[in-house]
Homo-oligomer: A and B are copies of this chain.
């Protein structure tokens, strides 16, 4: 199982638009092989910082997700609404 942590720095005036675009990712992602969890959170201090937490059965499943049609169609639209590059951590349980 892998856990990914993605910090997404959205333009302050595009948060709702970004979330609308992101919504298109949820259903197709939940249908992918190895999908476990796919949640988006909003930082309380900086509402324009959104954090996506994903759990996948394997790294391979996550890599397939990155190659998926919906990912490559929607993520570029999300990037247009971001104020700077995001951060992605791909992790394994430490304990």
Contacts and interface: CB of A to CB of B under 8 A. Distances in A.
Interface of A: 2-3, 5, 7, 19, 22-23, 26, 39-45, 49-51, 53, 59, 89-95
Given A5-B53, A43-B90, 11 more contacts: A3-B39, A5-B51, A19-B95, A22-B95, A40-B95, A42-B91, A42-B94, A44-B91, A51-B89, A51-B91, A53-B53
B50 A94 contact: yes
A66 B49 CA distance: 23
A42 B69 CA distance: 29
Contacts of A44: 2, 59, 90-92
B26 A95 contact: yes
